Amino acid sequence: AQTVTQSQPEMSVQEAETVTLSCTYDTSENNYYLFWYKQPPSRQMILVIRQEAYKQQNATENRFSVNFQKAAKSFSLKISDSQLGDTAMYFCAFTDYYNQGGKLIFGQGTELSVKP
Amino acid sequence: DTGVSQNPRHKITKRGQNVTFRCDPISEHNRLYWYRQTLGQGPEFLTYFQNEAQLEKSRLLSDRFSAERPKGSFSTLEIQRTEQGDSAMYLCASSPSSGQGTYEQYFGPGTRLTVT
């Protein structure tokens, strides 16, 4: 079975600094997608960034970037210049789209607090 | 487009009662997913539809749970004879099945169910 593991239940960072959230996953598939979702205290899940497994280049979206290590099955999220609005739960998610219709398998989440 | 909407946002019910939740996806999205999220955990997949066809159900979805998407637009999730263990946030998400954003799911705000 495919699994996603986030080993950091909580993290904190000072405003304007950089923080990295870790995620590992397990799959025997070669083609899949990985995502980071953000869930602020209001609880609506928002897509932050996605990575296609067939792409070697790491995805970036403004202050958010990933370090995708396919062989190590690692997918970390780096947030640069942290802002107070980045305070949220962050979930790493995996989908084997071709075989499983796009359903997402989520990690347990990392609660990030950005401190002023 | 106003995004994915869910109603009601909160539901309190007594054990043994039936409840029904509604999800309205983004209009051009033909895939619709239901997830359940308990406090401090990542969402867990329940079921998904492509148009009106229910293509997969999780083993988490006991016989007391049923989901429909009769015209391929909105979906309902019904829980019969609710139990205290059903207390959770029920999330709905939608995505297109082709074209841009195929692998990205957009979430609604969720329905928080409390069974007393």
CA B59 centroid distance within chain:
15
**Tens digit of pLDDT for each residue in A25-83?**
999 988 899 999 999 987 789 999 999 999 889 999 999 999 999 999 999 999 999 99
Which residues on chain B are in Cβ contact (under 8 Å) with A52?
103
Nearest-Cα distance to chain B for A46, in Å, is 7
In this prediction, residue A60 carries a pLDDT of: 95
**Tens digit of pLDDT for each residue in A84-96?**
999 999 999 999 8
Beta-carbon contacts of B75 under 8 Å, excluding residues fewer than 6 positions away, are B22, B23, B25, B32, B34, B49, B67, B68, B69, B92
Average pLDDT, chain B: 92
- Residue B99 touches partner A, C-beta closer than 8 Å: no
- Residue A115 touches partner B, C-beta closer than 8 Å: no
Q: Is B72 or A71 the better-scoring residue by pLDDT?
A: A71
In contact, B47 and B75? CB cutoff 8 Å: no
What is the dihedral angle through the alpha carbons of B102, A50, B22, B97, rounded to the nearest 10 degrees?
Answer: 10
From residue B40, give the alpha-carbon distance in Å to each of A95, B3, B22, B90. 21, 25, 24, 14
- Angle, alpha carbons A109-B6-B26 (nearest 5°): 90
Q: Identify the residue among B44, B104, B111, B113 best suited for mutation to test binding to A, counting A beta carbons within 10 A and taking the highest.
A: B104
Q: Is the pLDDT of residue B2 over 80?
A: no
Chain A contacts in chain B segment 14-53 (CB below 8 A):
31, 33, 35, 40-45, 48, 50
Q: Is the pLDDT of residue B1 over 60?
A: no
